[in-house]
Structure 1
Amino acid sequence: MSADVGDGLAPAVEAVTSGSGKTDPSAASSSPTRGYRVIALVVASALFMQQLDGTVLTVALPTMARDLGTTATSLSLALTSYLLALALFIPASGTLADRFGSRSIFCSAIVVFLVGSILCAQAASLPVLVAARFLQGIGGAMMVPVGRLVLLRSVAKEDMVQALSWLVMPALIGPILGPPLGGFIVTWLDWRWIFYLNIPIGILGVIGSLLLVPEVSGDSRARFDISGFFLSGLSLGGLLFGFELASRPGTGIVALILLTIGAVLAIAYVRHARRTPDPILDPSLMRIPTFRLSVIGGSLTRITQGAQPFLLPLMFQLGFGLSAAKTGTITMAGAVGALAMKALAPRVLRRWGFRRSLIVSGLVSSAGYATCALFRPDWPTAAMIGILALSGFFTSFQFTGFNAIAYADVDKERMSAATSFYATFQQLTLSLGICTAATVLELGTLIEGRQTPTLAVFSVAFLIVAAISASAVIWNRRFAPDAGAEMSGHSGE
């Protein structure tokens, strides 16, 4: 997405920084409009790289599986390991940004992501790829949450929806370019170029952040919750890998053990957090109604969003027999719909408010993804593209709404803790979406006694994840009619 970031750029950045080079969070409300746009665009470059990497990869799964000597569904482990690293290390992002400076952590995270990308490109087996993706995830865990934290601390509440729209609009180009680019790379080049593409983007991101992103700091005296970091990390790891192994034949006992360990450690963490002044994940944030409802409703929606990019390319290539290039052309429709929505989000929220808008968009997007269960090879391509574009439009609107209203009633002092908490659950539920889809596919192929899932199995998977997404409407109805009115400008009537 193009934007004018030329003339007037330096004054915009200087206006949000102090003489020491560190931003004063208390000055957020006085920061000029152009300042947050510049910061949003720089942060969006990291999100663009992340989204491009992920969407290109999903199209290439069948080819990668063949080269690595494994099955396409087994490669869900490589996707999950990346999301697991995000869930494990995102909780530490806020504290590290407060202590060492947001720009320093942001740049370091991009470098780690690039190193992981190079190792992924060199992987010759599934275990090596899984380990390299985990390293990538450590970098990704710091990039976007820390960048979002800079933005949230630099923007007045009335500008929040517009600022978040600027943040995600360039990043949405990644999902648009990713599928067709992945199809091109797999068809005419080598899938390893998927990871080499990150290098020039990452270098530009580092240069841009060093020149344009202010060093926003928080409370550097806050104690790092080491016990909480290990408890939460081991709990999330046990739960995620337990769900992942549950999708594989012959690993039921191991999966049950991991899920039990994860649940026990989660209970232990909650007890620990209640006794700790500065827990790495603060459960007391769930007492804020708008934050709690956004976490729950957004998590249910993201389960479907995690499953859909995994299911569609596999169905089109394994079930329909389409090429990777044709698959990429169709699946990019959802991202095009999402991009078309972003310019309308502030106006829709101003007219209808968060509550009503989230209810309607949740119903329409869930119905759209349920319709994917009816896709068959004789369907017109234009019809499938239209449904995916419509689903992407309303799903993206939901995420814009959830991401904004989550912080409507959060104090500036707790913004760091809120972003870490929210982003952790965001990645956890995306991982759960992949695990859910993979479990349904594995069980379906096992029941039917086949090597690859049939179209009927894909249909069941789509219906299950769509039903999960639709259940978010129950929580959307619990928002107050005037919830987030300070952000949206809606009167609540």
Structure 2
Amino acid sequence: MTPPAPPRDPGPPSATAPKAATPSWSRPVALVVAAAFFMENLDATILSTATASIADDFAVVPAEVGIAVTAYLVAVAAFIPLGAWLADRWGARRVFLAAIVLFTLASLACAVSGDLVQLTSARAVQGLAGSMMVPIGRLIVLRSTEKSELIRAIAYLTWPALVAPVIAPLVGGLLTENLGWEWVFLVNVPVGAALLIAAWRVVPVLPRAPRARLDGVGLGLVVAAIVAGVVAFELLGAGASAVSGAGLLVVAVLLVVAASRWFRRVAHPLLDLGAFRIPSFRVTNLSGSVYRAVVNGVPFVVPLLLQDGFGWSPTEAGLMLTWVFVGNLGVKPFTTPLLRRFAVIPIVTVSTVGLAATFVGAALVSADTPPVLIALVLLASGVFRSVGFTAYNTLQFADVPPERLGSANTLSSITGQLAVGLGVAVTALVVRVADGALGTSGPGDPTGYRIALVVLAALALVSVVEGLRLPRDTGAALRSPSR
């Protein structure tokens, strides 16, 4: 059946036109955007399970394949502001559809790559597409949803970020072992095609913002700062190049300062930093980024604890990690009623403390611990991380006025994406430093991984401190009026 023709793009709204009422949220649109989130989030982490097979095919050492992972993360984070500008200029729907097409084609290019250079180049294009697909998809949902319905809409957009990193090791391992590493990417082709058809049918056309020239200087500063920051953490984790990494990290900080000063001076900045003056947005995107980094560090360190520390197979470790996934989904029916019934700040506090407790519990398990007990710890971890993640993602836009949604969404996408990459990088750095200081590295010794889990627990508790200073009724606009 031929999809119906999309409505014509109305262009920038007239200054004299009456302001249209914000429509009620659309479940089909939220589901389509959530599916795009899932595809992008899964692809960000699934490659790690295929590293050994790719290195063997390309006749390189496994460590060299890390450049393909880094290229993807850098491209996603660095080009988010460009995607926001394109959405304002050409329309969010049009750019969202184009990003799905580009992501699918880049996935195919990854699968047919003949060497590491081709794979890295294709991954960078994938990242470019992801930088437009995910933030713009969320912007479409935000601009089509009333504040009182934001909790329900965000709940749909939260599960991909929680589920994808957890099931990626299992899915990637099964595809690589049974079909070959190429299928880690080929699976995106039918998914992307189905997603494109669904998005064409249900994603609405939104009014575009007044067109402004691209802030080329601002874009250059943002790209340079993000590239320098990501590469710096990669070098810090390598050990031998730690000094170079520290120097590059200083360069990244200086570039961030220069970009901030530029954005405050220029007439049409690439990034509007005004949203950081809103307390709830600032807390959820600065302190909240620490929470997101911690959440994304756990799916990295727990499988290593089980495999290197306790001698489990990759499949066994992946299956055990799915208990986090079970906790995520099991609590989902209760997150929306919970956020409607109670204030957001206490929910964030309780879920963060509970999450930190599960990290300590995971650090205390041993090779002799009954698997049922390990599963219960990971199940509880999944419950707490799901509630906390949903609360943070919902609260960040609670007090943002409609005219700032675009810039706030761009800033949130950048901080969130960097938190994903830095969570893994910082966790790996803690493991390396702990092993080096204690001389305990090697198969069968879980000490470094246990220390990393305790550090993640401490960071989780630190992340909630600033949020406690917010008024207790912060985010009250998210709850429906009492009946």
Normalising by structure 1, we get a TM-score of 0.88
Correspondent of 1:280 among 250, 267, 270: 270
Structure 2 match to 1:463: 454
Contact 2:441–2:448, Cα closer than 8 Å, also in 1: no
Matched, 1:476 2:467: yes
Structure 2 match to 1:237: 227
Contact 1:441–1:453, Cα closer than 8 Å, also in 2: no
Structure 1 match to 2:185: 195
Q: d(CA) in 2 for partners of 1:133 and 1:26?
A: 42
Q: d(CA) in 2 for partners of 1:120 and 1:169?
A: 26
- Listed one character per residue, the Cα deviations across residues 161-192 of structure 1 (whole Å, up to 9, x for unaligned) are 11111334477664565443223223323222
Contact 2:165–2:299, Cα closer than 8 Å, also in 1: no
The number of residues matched between the two structures is 475
Structure 2 match to 1:51: 41
Quickly say closer, same or farther: Cα 1:277–1:371, change in 2 above 3 A.
farther
- Deviation, 1:231, is 0.6
Contact 2:327–2:382, Cα closer than 8 Å, also in 1: yes
Let me know the Cα RMSD of the aligned residues.
2.8
Correspondent of 2:371 among 359, 375, 381: 381
What are the residue-to-residue correspondences of 1:67-466 with 2, within 5 Å?
77-123=67-113, 128-169=118-159, 174=164, 177-447=167-437, 448=439, 454-466=445-457
Structure 2 match to 1:6: none
Q: d(CA) in 1 for partners of 2:473 and 2:247?
A: 45
- Deviation, 1:398, is 1.5
Q: d(CA) in 1 for partners of 2:249 and 2:429?
A: 15
Correspondent of 2:31 among 41, 64, 74: 41
Contact 1:225–1:280, Cα closer than 8 Å, also in 2: yes
Q: Tell me which amino acid in the other structure corresponds to 2:454.
A: L
Farther-moved stretch of structure 1 (437-446 vs 465-474): 437-446
Q: Which segments of 5 or more consecutive residues in structure 2 lack a partner in the other structure?
A: none
- Listed one character per residue, the Cα deviations across residues 410-432 of structure 1 (whole Å, up to 9, x for unaligned) are 11111110000011011112111
Q: Tell me which amino acid in the other structure corresponds to 1:115.
A: L
- Deviation, 1:487, is 0.4
Q: Which segments of 5 or more consecutive residues in structure 1 lack a partner in the other structure?
A: 1-8
Q: d(CA) in 1 for partners of 2:114 and 2:471?
A: 53
Q: d(CA) in 2 for partners of 1:401 and 1:240?
A: 27
Quickly say closer, same or farther: Cα 1:131–1:332, change in 2 above 3 A.
farther
Contact 1:73–1:438, Cα closer than 8 Å, also in 2: no
Q: Tell me which amino acid in the other structure corresponds to 1:152.
A: L
Quickly say closer, same or farther: Cα 1:80–1:466, change in 2 above 3 A.
farther
Q: d(CA) in 2 for partners of 1:332 and 1:474?
A: 30
Q: Tell me which amino acid in the other structure corresponds to 1:461.
A: A
Q: d(CA) in 2 for partners of 1:415 and 1:163?
A: 15
- Deviation, 1:82, is 2.1
Quickly say closer, same or farther: Cα 1:472–1:444, change in 2 above 3 A.
closer
Contact 2:151–2:339, Cα closer than 8 Å, also in 1: no
Q: Secondary structure at the match of 1:304?
A: helix
Contact 1:243–1:432, Cα closer than 8 Å, also in 2: yes
Farther-moved stretch of structure 1 (448-457 vs 462-471): 448-457
Q: Tell me which amino acid in the other structure corresponds to 1:271.
A: R
- Listed one character per residue, the Cα deviations across residues 235-262 of structure 1 (whole Å, up to 9, x for unaligned) are 1111121111111132133213321221
Normalising by structure 2, we get a TM-score of 0.90
Structure 1 match to 2:20: 27
Quickly say closer, same or farther: Cα 1:388–1:69, change in 2 above 3 A.
farther
Quickly say closer, same or farther: Cα 1:216–1:174, change in 2 above 3 A.
same
Contact 2:218–2:269, Cα closer than 8 Å, also in 1: yes
Taking only the aligned residue pairs, the percentage that are identical comes to 33
Q: d(CA) in 1 for partners of 2:9 and 2:215?
A: 28
